[in-house]
Amino acid sequence: MSQALRQAHRTRMQQFITDPLTGGIVWLMLGVFKLLPTQVASDFGAFLGGLLYHVLTQRNAVARKNLSFAFPDKTPAEREKILKATWRHWGRVYAEVPHGEKLYHSAVFSGLDYLKEVARKKQGCFVCSAHIGNFELAVTTPLFDDYCLNPVYRSANNPWLDKILFQRRVGTLIPKGTQGAKKMIELLRVGKGVVILCDQKLREGIDVPLFGKPAKTAPAIATVALKLNMPIFMARCIRRKDKRFQIDVYPLAVSHNPDKEQAVYETMLSINQEIEKWIRETPEQWLWFHRRFDKSEYR
């Protein structure tokens, strides 16, 4: 459903009371975080995230299921420790939103030259990331010179939140859907980079294993990249123990199987395997609250 349709389905209560009220609270909180020094804001966000662990119990139920799928060999206590750390991490991410540009410029980079090379050649490319670490940093400011990544995103149902949280991103925002797909291809053809978070469930996607379970996965990144002969780069931005961020970029080896359908599947399998590896390395930095697998898994 498009942004306009979803927002048209908002009730009058949502449109005139709860949506602006929620937007106002988020705007006020971001204003407070902006006034605080970066590390103080981050620590405050971690404290608030720790509180939410005790409040949003339904989210915890989903996360515990996902953690059991990913780490069946860990004890419930070990998985609960990861879950608590996850809440603190995402509290930090929210509090760091107003400080994104500063955090980006203090980050440690690996592989950014890959993107500098495609920019020099004026070649379009895909950048595949995930809801891990602080993925927003890559669209907070130009990566280098005036080179921006153009994010594919799902707009928030609440238009106030959409403007406050998403419209601050640099580059061209590409909404999910048919119109967004056209815009994405236009940008790729003129040598721009498109970033997609590849770890979300898509009802119309293809089944690709993740943690040994079939997971509905959007194949567009592989389908378009193979059709237009565009490179795909994997990129993650993870929090380090020294409180800086590590941004890693590296090329994905796409499948050259002559069977196009199989080539798409094999490419998406490689992407899921890379994301799974990231999650295992820093499990507390992934968004475990998303119903990534079939709904029957969460009953």
Instruction: Report pLDDT digits (tens) over 247-290.
Output: 999 999 999 999 999 999 999 999 999 999 999 999 999 999 99
Mean pLDDT of 5-25: 84
In this model, does residue 3 exceed pLDDT 80?
no
Mind listing the pLDDT tens digit for each residue in 205-254? 999 999 999 999 999 999 999 999 999 999 999 999 999 999 999 999 99
Average confidence score pLDDT of the chain? 94
Q: Return the percentage of the chain with pLDDT > 90, whole number.
A: 85
* pLDDT score of 5: 56
Write down the pTM of the prediction: 0.93
* pLDDT score of 155: 82
Mean pLDDT of 70-83: 98
pLDDT grade, residue 193 (50/70/90)?
Answer: very high
Mean pLDDT of 125-139: 95
Mean pLDDT of 171-199: 93
Domain of residue 166: give its range.
Answer: 3-298
Give the HSE-up count for residue 2: Cα atoms under 13 Å, Cβ half-sphere.
9
Count of domains for the chain: 1
Q: Which residue has the higher pLDDT, 168 or 273?
A: 273
* pLDDT score of 44: 98
In this model, does residue 139 exceed pLDDT 60?
yes
* pLDDT score of 231: 98
